[in-house]
Chains A and B, each alone.
Chain A
Amino acid sequence: MELPIYLDNNATTPLDPRVLEAMLPYFTTKFGNAASRNHPFGWVAEEGVDYAREQVAKLIGCTEKEIIFTSGATEADNLGIKGVFEMYSEKGNHIITATTEHKAVLDTCKHLEKQGARVTYLKVKEDGLIDLAELEAAMTPETILVTIMYGNNEIGVVQPVKEIAAIAHKHGALFFTDATQAVGKIPVNVIEDGIDLMAFSAHKMYGPKGVGALYVRRKNPRVKVTSQMDGGGHERGMRSGTLNVPGIVGLGKACELCRLEMDEEAKRLSALRDKLEAALTTMEESYVNGNTQHRLPHVANISFKYVEGEGLMMAMKDLAVSSGSACTSASLEPSYVLKSLGLSDDLAHSSIRFGLGRFTTEEEVDYAIENTKKAVNHLRDLSPLWEMFKDGIDLSKIEWAEH
């Protein structure tokens, strides 16, 4: 076992060597521009792209023509949401999203508010799921788009996508989902789920960074977006720019591997995740954040009360994880996602996200358990709050000097 151990697979994943192998020729011998129609170099590159498009389409249950390659999920979020807003402006200006969305969605919505959009930010329940009745109540005749993520990047909860899509459609709105954390990890099928637009990325599923895709439905209904990048009219005019051929080939291969191995992998990862979670929650005052039924197989988000996340990560020095504590940012604000669940600031500061992945071994998880326990105990020995808690002092009754 090599140290440090990578348990931050929600941030990014290592490239699968099989993906790298598929990509390599497209850097050197098959370097052509996929838009070069008049010579074999272009044809070979185009073939690579076409094949990748099939691999991607197959994973999510759509046709090749419904895939638009982008530079990643952030661009796909921007293109999908802004593109729909502009294309359907005659129908209405109302967008519904949720407070726990990724910044790529939230900040895009904020941007559109300045352009005249009205945006409803649904709160989530304590377990991180949205309330379908609240969504239903928020729908208006002007609602053109509902954008709710598939699986959450911090806590891993999986939203009731099918039900959300049904509500959006009942009121004549489109349904967009940022599925960056879900595609390749759990079965996502755009037809069965009723998804009209979907963003996802290669580097979260063992593919390369810098490439992603937007799914845009072509039938029942035919969805259109205005392009956000003008130029040579690539990707059927919806996303200009020379195609990132090696990246796209990598995304395709990554999708294929996920499709073939997902079932086994999800089983293995959820067993490891459960082991980790069970062991760490035997510690006093440790809590799992988010719904534990409807969630991705590889994420555990745990708050260790009375220790601060960043300090804790420093003690877990052989583990690469992330924290809801924002001590490093100038704002000192802890995770907005955890706060949306109703977690107090101190519990949000005390959270650690463990993100398991394809290459995580049981030995590594065992090591992580011991290492984390040791770190939590060490920091609790240093924590005045832990001592006060142990002395039976009610911390909420103390007048803290807010700073």
Chain B
Amino acid sequence: MAYSEKVMEHYTNPRNVGTLNKDSKSVGTGLVGAPECGDVMRLQIEVDDNNVITDAKFKTFGCGSAIASSSLATEWLKGKTIDEALTIDNMDIVEELALPPVKIHCSVLAEDAIKSAINDYRVKNGLEAFELAKSHH
């Protein structure tokens, strides 16, 4: 199966690879997936006082589509408010990267990672966690 150009591009030049200080109050960390399933994503956001995401980093264990999905997610997150970030839908990622049906779970994982990072940030800052939809895969 051939990968789309956009997947190849993100895979070859992944954006925002790295680690933020997970103990910082301004950082939210989402760790989703499982090694047994062949994909694990860690997505981190740094949020300022105005609820704006100033930085985002990821590391992903998985196939090229999983890596590209998380790379794209970090790109989209930067500069968005938390509320805006919550509107990112996995299908947006599918569309942008032209993922085939067997790779849709990669985009779902990326959406889960975003939500899970936001919740981590909220809980750290004394806010209630959002109810997360059960994993679709």
Contacts and interface: CB of A to CB of B under 8 A. Distances in A.
Contacts of B38: 308-310, 325-327, 332, 334, 345-346, 349
Contact of A385 (B14, B17, B61): B61
B34 interface: yes
Nearest to B17: A382
A310 B64 contact: yes
B67 to A, nearest CB: 6
B35 A346 contact: yes
Interface stretch (A66-74, A170-178, A258-266, A394-402): A394-402
Contacts of B64: 310-311, 314
B14 A382 contact: yes
A324 to B, nearest CB: 10
Interface in B1-53: 1, 3, 11, 14, 17, 19, 31-42
A215 interface: no
Interface in B76-135: 102, 105, 109, 112, 135
A152 to B, nearest CB: 22
Nearest to A329: B102
Nearest to B11: A314
B60 interface: yes
Interface residues of B, number: 32
B34 A382 contact: no
Contact of B35 (A310, A326, A385): A385
A383 interface: yes
A381 interface: yes
Contacts of B40: 384-385, 400
A140 interface: no
A1 interface: no
A3 interface: no
A282 interface: no
Interface in A343-376: 344-346, 349
Contacts of B11: 311, 314-315
A219 interface: no
Interface in A310-344: 310-311, 314-315, 325-330, 332, 334, 344
Given A311-B11, A401-B112, 5 more contacts: A332-B105, A345-B36, A349-B35, A384-B60, A401-B33
Interface of A: 306-311, 314-315, 325-330, 332, 334, 344-346, 349, 381-387, 395, 398, 400-403
26 contacts: A308-B38, A308-B39, A308-B66, A309-B38, A310-B62, A310-B63, A310-B64, A311-B61, A311-B66, A314-B11, A326-B38, A329-B102, A345-B37, A349-B35, A349-B36, A382-B60, A382-B67, A384-B31, A384-B40, A384-B61, A385-B35, A400-B34, A401-B33, A401-B112, A403-B105, A403-B135
